[in-house]
Chains A and B, each alone.
Chain A
Amino acid sequence: MAEAVILRRKFSAKDLAIQALFLAVIVVIVAEAVSSARTNLAEMGLSSGLAFLDRATGWSYSFSLIDHSIDDSYRKTLFIGFLNTLFLGLVSIVLATVLGFAVGTARDANNIAVRSSATIFIQLFRNIPLILQLVFWYAVLIHMPGPRQAMSIADAIFISNRGVMVPGLTIPTVAGIGLTIFAVVAGVLIARLSALRTSLKLLIWLAAVAALTLLLWVTLAPEGAGLVSAPELKGLRFVGGLPLPIEFVAMVIGITLYGAAYIAEVVRGGLQEVPKGLIEAGRALGLQEGMIWFKIKMPMTLRTIIPPLGNQWVFLMKATTIGVAIGFSDLFMIVSTSITQSGQTLELIGILMAAFILINFTLAQLVNLLNARLRLKGH
C-alpha cells in the first residue's frame, strides 16, 4: 500500500517535470519568435507596436452599422469590421439553423419527393466550395435592375442591384440593435414565467418592446421624423429606411445555404438517434406526426446534436471571412486592407486572431451552457 503511494508520487513528480519542461519549451519558442521578429522589423526599419491604431485610415469601405468616414482611426475602423462580422455571423447562423432544421427534418420524411429534394439540396450546397457559391449569388444579385428601375413591393420595399431597401425605424442603428437584443432577452425571461398563460406572456412582451421603441423614438430620432421611414429614390440612391447592401444579402444567402446543408445533416443524424420505441409509443398514444416531432423527436434530438451544432456555428462564424471576394467589409477584409495600407502586418493579424478567438470562444461557452442545461438528468 505504502509502496503504491510512493510509486504514484514518483510518477506524478515525473509527470510534473515533463509538463513543466513542455511549458518552458513553448514559452522559450514564443519569446524567441517575438524577439526575433522585433529585431528583424527594426533592422528593416519597419515600425511595430499599436501606435497606428490612433491614425486616420484615409480609405473607405462598403458596409457599416454605424456612421463612418475616412477620418476614422484604425481602432474605430477595426471595431466596425468586428461589428460587421458579428452581425453577419449571427444573422447567418440564425437563418442557417432554422433552414437546416427544416431540411434535416425533410431528409427524414416518409414522402419520397420531400426526402429527395432535401437530399439534392444538401448535396448541392455542401459539395460546392463556399466562395464559389458566394461569387455565384453575387453575380446573380448584381444583375438585378438598377436603383432607378428597382422592383418595389407596395412602394415600401425596393429590391435593386444596390441592395434590399426596407422601411426602418428612424432611431440610430445601434439603438436598433439594442432594441433587438432587449426583445430577445425579454422574450426568454417572460417565457420562463411559467405561471402565466401564453397569450398573457405575449401581451406583456409586446407591450414592453413597444414601450421601449417609443421611448427610443422620442429621445433619439431626429427632430420631426416619423416613427418609421420608407425608402425613397433620391439622386443616385435610396434614402430613408433600412438599406441592406447587395453584398450583405449575397453573404447571408451564401453562408445560410451552405451552413443549412451541414446543419441539416447534423439534424438528420440527431433524428436517427431517437429510439424507435419512443416514436412508436407516441403513435400508440395517438399523437399526430407534428406532435411527435415537437414533443418527442425534437427534445431527444436537441440533446444529442447541441455539440456538433455548436461546431457548425463556430464554423459559420469563421466562414464570414470571405467577404473580400465580393467587397463586403467584414473584419477580415478590413484587416487585410489595413495591412496593405498601414504595413502593420503582425499587429493586425494578431488583432484578427484575438477577435475571432473572442467571438468563437464565447460562442463555444454558450453552446456548452446550453448543452449542460439540456442534458438529460442522470445521463
Chain B
Amino acid sequence: MTKTLKSLLAVMACAAFVPSALAAESATIKMIEERGTMLCSGHNGSYFGFVEVNDKNEWRGLDIDLCRAMTTAILGDPNKVQIVPLSWAQRFPALQSGDVDIIIKATGWTMGRDTELGLQFSLPYFFGGTQLMAHSDLGITQATQLEGGTICVEAGTTIERIVADYLKTLGVEHTMISYEKAAELRAAYLANRCDAFAGWGPNLAVLRATEIDNPDQHIILEDQLSSEPISAAMRQGDEDFVDFTNWMLAALLLAEEHGVTMANVEEMAANPPNPTVARLLGSTPGIGERLGLRETWAREMIAAVGNFAEIYDRNLGKDSPYKLERGLNNLWSHGGVLYAPILD
C-alpha cells in the first residue's frame, strides 16, 4: 500500500516538473555536464578523412570535428572531448552501454539500425555513395567504357550488388572478382589485376590521395552508383538530445550559408547582418534557452571549429590531402543536398 502511494507520489512529483522541462535539457546532456567531458566514438586505427590519428597522436577528421563542435556547444571547450577508439562492430553496443554519448563515425542511416537496434538518427550531414576508380591509362571517364573490363569488389557487401545491378542496367559486360579482405582487393587493383575498383566514394578518394604513389594514374569515374546518408546515431529515448544534435548541425550549415566563419564570428555577433545571424549567434536570445543551453553556444562553437565548409575543407576538401569535391555535400544553394531547418 505504502509502495503504491510512494510511486504515485513519485509520478506526481515528475508531473510537477514537466512545465520547467520545456526549457530543461536532455538526460544525456545533463550527464555530459556532470561528467565534464563528452565521450565520442573514435576508430581502431585511422579511417582517413573522417576519424584519423595524425602523426602527433591527435584525433582529426570530419567526424571528430563535429564531435568537438558538439562538445564546445555543451561544455564551452572543444578540448573536453574524449575520443573512445571503437571498431565498426563495437560502435552500437558501446553506445547502448553508455561507453560513448554519441556515434559520429561515417555511419549510414538504415531502417534496421533505426528500428531493431534501438537507435535514433540525426539529419544526414554527409552523403557518400558507391563509385568506381579506374587506371587512368585506360583513358576512360565513365562506367559505360568499362565494356569487357574486370572489376574488383569486396565480397559480401552491398557494393557488390550495387555494381552488378548498375553495370547490368548499362549493359556493360564485365568480369567481377570479389575479395574477402580490403587489403587483397587494393593489392589486386594496384597490380592491375582489375581495370576498376568499386568502393565508397570518399574511401576511393582517400585511397587515391594517400596510399597510391601517383594519384594522377587513377581516375574516379563520373558515375554515382548509389548514395548513402551518413548521420549521427544516438540512444533511443532522449528526444531532446536528438533535437540538440540536429540544431548543432543546423547551426554549422546556417553559419556557412550566412558567411559566419571562425574569423569573423565575434564581429558578426556584434553587428549581425540579418535577423537569422542575430538569432544564431545569440545576439537575439532564444537559441540557447529553448535547448537548455547557453545563448552563446553556437557562437562559441563556430569560434572553436568554424562553420560546416571550414570543417569539410580542413578534413576532406581543398585544405586536406584528399581534395574531395563538395559535390552532393554542398549547401542546397550551391548544388548540394545539405540544408538547415528554419531558425525562427
| Tier of interface size on chain B | 20 to 34
User: With A60-B176, A247-B177, A340-B156 in contact, is A161–B148 under 8 Å at CB?
Assistant: no
Residue of B nearest to A327 (CB): B177
- CB-CB under 8 A from A336, the residues of chain B are 155-156, 180
User: With A236-B138, A324-B155, A336-B155 in contact, is A62–B178 under 8 Å at CB?
Assistant: yes
Q: Is the CB of B191 within 8 A of A236?
A: no
Q: B147 at the A/B interface (Cβ < 8 Å)?
A: yes
Q: B217 at the A/B interface (Cβ < 8 Å)?
A: no
Q: How far is the CA of A247 from the CA of B194 in the complex (A)?
A: 12
Which of B31-39, B101-109, B159-167, B208-216 lies at the interface? B159-167
B283 → chain A closest CB, angstroms: 53
User: With A161-B192, A237-B150, A333-B155 in contact, is A62–B177 under 8 Å at CB?
Assistant: yes
Interface residues of A in 264-321 (CB under 8 A from B): none
Q: Max chain A CB contacts within 10 Å: which of B150, B177, B193?
A: B193
Q: A246 at the A/B interface (Cβ < 8 Å)?
A: yes
- CB-CB under 8 A from A60, the residues of chain B are 160, 164, 174-176, 178
Q: How far is the CA of A235 from the CA of B165 in the complex (A)?
A: 22
User: With A59-B160, A235-B148 in contact, is A337–B155 under 8 Å at CB?
Assistant: yes
User: With A235-B147, A337-B178, A341-B161 in contact, is A327–B191 under 8 Å at CB?
Assistant: no
Q: How far is the CA of A135 from the CA of B180 in the complex (A)?
A: 13
A59 → chain B closest CB, angstroms: 5
Interface residues of A in 177-215 (CB under 8 A from B): none
- CB-CB under 8 A from A327, the residues of chain B are 152, 155, 177-179, 184, 188
Q: How far is the CA of A162 from the CA of B149 in the complex (A)?
A: 10
Q: A234 at the A/B interface (Cβ < 8 Å)?
A: yes
Q: How far is the CA of A326 from the CA of B164 in the complex (A)?
A: 19
Tell me which of B149, B150, B180, B195 contacts A324 (CB under 8 A): B180
- CB-CB under 8 A from B161, the residues of chain A are 58-59, 341
Q: Is the CB of A61 within 8 A of B187?
A: no
Q: How far is the CA of A326 from the CA of B183 in the complex (A)?
A: 11
Interchain Cβ contacts under 8 Å between A and B, 14 examples = A58-B161, A58-B165, A59-B176, A62-B177, A70-B168, A139-B187, A162-B193, A236-B148, A236-B195, A247-B177, A324-B155, A333-B155, A337-B160, A340-B156
Contacts A59-B161, A239-B148, A337-B178 aside, 20 further interface pairs with beta carbons under 8 A come to A59-B164, A59-B178, A60-B160, A60-B164, A60-B176, A60-B178, A61-B176, A70-B165, A135-B184, A142-B187, A142-B191, A234-B148, A235-B148, A237-B149, A324-B155, A326-B179, A327-B152, A327-B184, A333-B178, A336-B156
Interface residues of B (CB under 8 A from A): 138, 146-150, 152, 155-157, 160-161, 164-165, 168, 174-181, 184, 187-188, 191-193, 195
- 9 nearest CB pairs, A to B: A340-B156, A60-B176, A142-B191, A236-B149, A62-B177, A327-B177, A235-B148, A142-B193, A70-B164
